[in-house]
Amino acid sequence: AAGVCSSLGSDTTLFMRPLALSAASNAAVWVRRLVCRSAATVAPPTQTTASAGMEVEYEAVIGIECHVQLLTRTKAFCSCPSEFGSQPNSNVCPVCLGHPGTLPVLNAAMVTLAVRAGLALGSEIARISKFDRKQYFYPDLPKGYQISQYDEPICTGGQLEVEVDGQLKSFGIIRAHLEEDAGKIVYAGADRLSGSDYSLVDFNRAGVPLLEIVSAPDMRSGHDAAAYGEELRRVLRTCGVTDGNMAEGSMRVDVNVSVRPRGSAVFGTRVEIKNMNSFSNMQRAIDFEIERQVSLLRAGRGSDIVQETRLWDEIKLVTNTMRKKEGLADYRYFPEPDLLPLNVSDEFIELVKASMPELPAAKRKRYLSLGLTRGDVAVLTDETATSQLFDAVLALGTPVKPAANWIQGDIMAYCKEAKIGMDALAITPAALAEMISLIENGTISGKIAKDILSDLLQGKGNKGVRVYIEKQGLLMISDEAAIGAMVDKVLEANHKQLQEFRAGKTKLQGYFEGQVMKESKGRVNPGLMKEILLRKLNGE
Amino acid sequence: MQAGLHNGLRSGSLRGLAFKAARCKHTAVSAAKSSVIRDIHDKITSKECTAVEVTQRYLDAISKTDPKICSFITVDADQALSQARAIDAQIATQGTEGIKVLSGVPLAIKDNICTQGTRTTAGSQILRDYVPTFDATAVSRLRAAGAVFLGKTNMDEFGMGSSTENSSYKATRNPWDPDRVPGGSSGGSAAAVAARECAAALGSDTGGSIRQPAHFCGIVGLKPTYGRVSRYGLISYASSLDVIGPMAHTVEDAALLLNAIAGADAHDATSSGQPTVDFAAGLLPAASLQGGSRPLAGRRIGLVVETLGEGVAPEIDAAIRAAAEHLESLGAVVEEVSMLTFSLGLPAYYVLALSEASSNLSRYDGVRYGVRTAGAADLPSMFCGSRGEGLGGEVKRRILMGTYALSAGYYDAYYKRAQQVRTLAQREMNFALASFDALLTPTAPSPAYR
């Protein structure tokens, strides 16, 4: 399994082949799960070259800037609803439209979420921070400036521990700061301004609160970067800071990539890449860019690497220079005079700390200590809804392994098929716990449970699983006399096969088991049945 | 304390000197000696006049006088009369019990203060058709108090100027002498009050724009402490300096207006949470001062030496010194005090105000409201065309200078430095106010000029 994935080298055309993924597969080999679960977790390409004389090995230096929309009810500086997907320009007001005479007023909830994020990342929370104006002209920026934080952000420092290929790596966080989002521009008839007859601007997004998280340049490959991005998303989703939906734009990433000879302490020329809408695209973009820069360096054309912004083209799978050379923008930052300095007290931080949920890293540790495999742990902690259901049934006394198996197996498969989150299932944790305990104590068979699972997941057993099963007449038959009678019936009806069996064709045991199972409509206790059948087959 | 000071000045010789200095040519203009607002209130509650009659009288005055004075950019007679009718209807159904002191009082509002449903231009062409969908907080509080809005007054464009000559609409004339400027940037409001086209008015002050035109037009103008009145709905010039304030015939009128508009506002994060008081409560009527009474006994007043002497017109200097003598006759101790940072105030103001203005005016880009240039082929042309056509020369100059002061490499030398100077000036001011109850200076170094 690992072999399949590591054979994907730096050849970019390979990325066009869809990887055969089987999320429903229960072959829980941890390496395969983590490495092959999505295209985003391909092993990093090696950089050594075959030709003699050019033996310089290069290493990549990668940093990530991540913008997440904060899960507040209203916008950063006005009381318009902050929600995705509304009719254009329906969540707007004079303030977020930058009308004359309007003023921003700080949304306290966004501060709470920023503090929560900072605590989750181990950052230092600034007791005093301030807002600044970042100034530039663009049609999606109503005031002609963005309210942001420049030199006194709310969070500094921190780190994110990520497991990459079984290795625990710690990627530094430099800072996280609050700012407001801009509107969205749609070009009519073309992808960009030139060539389109008109543009449409939707200001629903203008003023939505953002947290910008800047990592240290600690990643060394697209693989590192994707792992960082996924864990960051996991942490922030767990804390309710953001829903981290890259497709909807509530999580956006820009990366900075440079290369240098391995062992050098000097940074190479840094290139910024934008326009990656998924972690797998981000990984591909980074790997492509590393290769592009290394090739230029090897060819002696290192000066062709310039500090610029490039866009990832997800069709052609290349990075391209942004057509307009922006030069170094001067944003003319100065402190926002319409807002007071942001004071965060020790008491407030303690309050937020007390309301923090269990972070993914802690949860993984806890699950490992329960005796689960790394593979199980990875699946169960990937989404909050999954671990919530798991913890809920554990709390009701369900044994660990069966709970883990049912949830990451049939239940997860059901969710995937129905395209719903695990928190959208109608089944209560109590019902699931009951179902599992009924299997454990022999009231029903595992097979029957599988058959009725989708009904239970839709809530049909919520008033009592045992009651439901009884109504369906599906209780497991464990009464030896009843089983004996069934076996006798089957043996009588299959006289010929019985003779053959007694003559030596022992393979027919499976046939008889199938017949008894059929006779009992799947309800017979398999273990007991086997035992009794064998006895009777052998004439006892 | 401040109220007593003002009344002391009013009853003294300063007014007479200012009158002579202006060489009044308009005998129709006369200064009120008692509260115009209270007078109107009495007439309405005693039913001597209806609110509609009061408003109509002012509308007639505007029709007659404003072609010469040009105080108003927009007159909204329909709205004014409709507001007045509502007051009369209230009196008819509920009697005069609930009639507040400002009910039915016709006011003029400076055109950089947003009035819902009434065009608001800030004196600029770029907003020539802009109609706000909301009231400034000061306006909504006045509306709730029953005030009547006659219209929007002329001003230097976006508050940038001190003569109202920078208005992109018209020049306002000083009612005392039409060859002279009314001052600025609240020149329209000042002239409207002085010419009796309104009972009182709202203005705004960033670097003197209420005080100086009040001085030029011989009326009372109060610049409240920053944060005392909400800035929400005031079209920003310099965010850390702008305030809205009253302009009126008497100190009492100014106090009554301030009562209505002052106080914290959830829409303005910079508005102060300090509790307000009844600003009209401590006022001593000038007429009540018996000969020899010393209401200012125990008070100390500082005469700022840097504001007198060289560069100040002799009649102004004389008027201030006479005022100081008058205050002493009322019992105050008047001493000279030196403010070393005084001369630094203006340069610091220019750097800070222009820097903030360059940013505050970025929103006028033709995208969402206001004038948009026709036929632009790309974004830079659209931005430059709209702002080029819509903004006046002085505004452009100040935006350019402000942008320069904030730009990379210059921020420390200009903006940051100016903030540091500001802090020094504040410290010195506070230090002086620790030993004086008030500081006395002229409002401007000269009377209204041509």
- Distance, in Å, from the CA atom of A444 to the CA atom of A263, rounded to the nearest integer, reads 62
When pLDDT is averaged across residues B280-292 and rounded to a whole number, the result is 81
Q: What is the CA radius of gyration of chain A?
A: 30
Strands A271-276 and A308-313: parallel
* pLDDT tier at A34, thresholds 50, 70, 90: very low
| Chain B residue with the nearest C-alpha to that of A98 | B363
* pLDDT tier at B32, thresholds 50, 70, 90: low
Q: Indicate whether B291 pLDDT > 80.
A: no
A332–B403 CB contact, under 8 Å: yes
**Could you say which residues from 205 to 244 on chain B have a Cβ atom under 8 Å away from some Cβ of chain A?**
231-236, 239-240
Tokens of residue A196, six digits: 């389109």
What's the Cα-to-Cα distance from A183 to each of A119, A144, A314, rounded to whole Å? 29, 12, 24
DSSP string, A462-521: TT-HHHHHHHHT---B--HHHHHHHHHHHHHHTHHHHHHHHHT-TTHHHHHHHHHHHHTT
Per-chain mean pLDDT for chain A: 87
pLDDT: which is higher, B422 or A28: B422
**Contact partners, residue B57, CB within 8 Å, separation at least 6:** none
DSSP string, B194-212: HTTSSSEEEEEESSSTTHH
Neighbours of B334 (CB within 10 A): 21
Q: Residue A334: which of B266, B368, B411 has the nearest Cβ?
A: B411
Asked which of A52-61, A265-274, A366-375 is least confident by mean pLDDT, the reply is A52-61
* pLDDT tier at B20, thresholds 50, 70, 90: very low
Asked if residue A161 lies in contact with residue A361, where contact means CB atoms within 8 angstroms, the answer is yes
Q: What ranges make up the beta strands (E) of A295-376?
A: 308-313, 318-321, 334-335, 342-343
Sign of CA dihedral B33, B35, B38, B44: positive
Task: Give strand pairing partners of A74.
Answer: A81
- Distance, in Å, from the CA atom of B282 to the CA atom of B421, rounded to the nearest integer, reads 35
State the pLDDT at residue B4: 35
Q: Residue A143: which of B114, B363, B379 has the nearest Cβ?
A: B363
Tokens of residue A516, six digits: 């008894």
pLDDT: which is higher, B440 or A42: B440
Q: Indicate whether A472 pLDDT > 90.
A: no
Q: Which helix (H) or strand (E) holds A111?
A: helix A108-120
Task: Give strand pairing partners of A257.
Answer: A62, A271
Interface test with A, best of B116, B355, B359, B423 (most A CBs within 10 A): B359
Scanning the structure block, which residue is given the tokens 């006659």? B150
State the Cα angle at A123 between A117 and A126, rounded to 5°: 95
State the pLDDT at residue A193: 55
ipTM of the prediction: 0.92
Asked which of A163-167, A287-291, B294-298 is least confident by mean pLDDT, the reply is A163-167
Q: Indicate whether B235 pLDDT > 80.
A: yes
**Could you say which residues from 264 to 283 on chain B have a Cβ atom under 8 Å away from some Cβ of chain A?**
266-270
State the pLDDT at residue B436: 97
A139–B134 CB contact, under 8 Å: no
State the pLDDT at residue A524: 85
Asked which of A459-468, A519-528, B293-302 is least confident by mean pLDDT, the reply is A519-528
Please list every residue in chain A whose beta carbon sits closer than 8 Å to the beta carbon of residue B232.
101-103
Q: Residue B359: which of A102, A133, A339 has the nearest Cβ?
A: A133
B269–A340 CB contact, under 8 Å: yes
| Amino acid in position B383 | F
**Chain-centre distance of CA A37, in angstroms?**
11
Active-site residue set of B = 110, 185, 209
First-residue to last-residue Cα distance in chain B: 35
Tokens of residue A170, six digits: 């710690």
- Distance, in Å, from the CA atom of B19 to the CA atom of B216, rounded to the nearest integer, reads 10
Q: What is the pLDDT of residues B194-213, one digit of tens each?
A: 999 999 999 999 999 999 99
Tokens of residue B420, six digits: 């540091």
When pLDDT is averaged across residues A111-133 and rounded to a whole number, the result is 98
For a pLDDT cut of 90, what percent of chain A falls above it?
63
Q: What is the CA radius of gyration of chain B?
A: 22
| Amino acid in position B409 | G
Tokens of residue B197, six digits: 């086209």
Q: What is the pLDDT of residues A235-291, one digit of tens each?
A: 999 999 999 999 899 999 999 999 999 989 999 999 999 989 999 999 999 999 999
Q: Indicate whether A184 pLDDT > 50.
A: yes
Please list every residue in chain A whose beta carbon sits closer than 8 Å to the beta carbon of residue B158.
none
**Could you say which residues from 100 to 119 on chain B have a Cβ atom under 8 Å away from some Cβ of chain A?**
112-114
* pLDDT tier at B28, thresholds 50, 70, 90: very low
State the pLDDT at residue A42: 42
B365–A339 CB contact, under 8 Å: no
Please list every residue in chain A whose beta carbon sits closer than 8 Å to the beta carbon of residue B112.
101
A332–B406 CB contact, under 8 Å: yes
Per-chain mean pLDDT for chain B: 92
Q: Residue B270: which of A144, A193, A338 has the nearest Cβ?
A: A338
First-residue to last-residue Cα distance in chain A: 48
Q: Which helix (H) or strand (E) holds A351?
A: helix A346-354
State the pLDDT at residue B140: 98
B408–A139 CB contact, under 8 Å: no
User: In 3-state terms, what secondary structure has residue A304?
Assistant: helix
**Is A341 part of the contact surface with chain B (CB cutoff 8 Å)?**
no
When pLDDT is averaged across residues A392-408 and rounded to a whole number, the result is 95
Q: Which helix (H) or strand (E) holds B137?
A: helix B137-144
Task: Go through chain B and tell me how many residues it has.
Answer: 450
**Residue B117's closest CA among B86, B85, B83?**
B83
Contacts of B264-268 with CB under 8 Å at 24 or more apart are B264/B230, B265/B137, B265/B230, B265/B232, B266/A105, B267/A103, B267/A105, B267/B137, B267/B230, B267/B232, B268/A103, B268/A105, B268/B137, B268/B230, B268/B231, B268/B232
Q: What is the pLDDT of residues B126-155, one digit of tens each?
A: 999 999 999 999 999 999 999 999 999 999
pLDDT: which is higher, A509 or B399: B399
- Distance, in Å, from the CA atom of A243 to the CA atom of A328, rounded to the nearest integer, reads 33
pLDDT: which is higher, A104 or A46: A104
Tokens of residue B206, six digits: 């960033």
B270–A340 CB contact, under 8 Å: yes
Phi, psi (degrees; rounded to nearest 5) at B200:
-165, 175
When pLDDT is averaged across residues B239-248 and rounded to a whole number, the result is 98
State the pLDDT at residue A192: 56
| Chain A residue with the nearest C-alpha to that of B241 | A337
Strands B200-205 and B106-110: parallel
State the pLDDT at residue B394: 98
Please list every residue in chain A whose beta carbon sits closer than 8 Å to the beta carbon of residue B130.
100
Tokens of residue A169, six digits: 């790596």
For a pLDDT cut of 70, what percent of chain A falls above it?
87
State the pLDDT at residue B441: 96
pLDDT: which is higher, A345 or A29: A345
DSSP string, A54-73: ----EEEEEEEEEEEE---S
Q: Residue B383: which of A137, A332, A340 has the nearest Cβ?
A: A137
**Is A185 part of the contact surface with chain B (CB cutoff 8 Å)?**
no
When pLDDT is averaged across residues A327-343 and rounded to a whole number, the result is 92
State the Cα angle at B116 between B112 and B120, rounded to 5°: 30
Asked which of A91-95, A132-136, B285-289 is least confident by mean pLDDT, the reply is B285-289
Interface test with B, best of A96, A103, A196 (most B CBs within 10 A): A103
Burial class (CB in 10 A: 0-12, 13-18, 19+), B434: exposed
- Distance, in Å, from the CA atom of A384 to the CA atom of A390, rounded to the nearest integer, reads 10
Q: Indicate whether B121 pLDDT > 80.
A: yes
Neighbours of B129 (CB within 10 A): 11
User: In 3-state terms, what secondary structure has residue B282?
Assistant: coil
Q: What is the pLDDT of residues B305-359, one digit of tens each?
A: 999 989 999 999 999 999 999 999 999 999 999 999 999 999 999 999 999 999 9
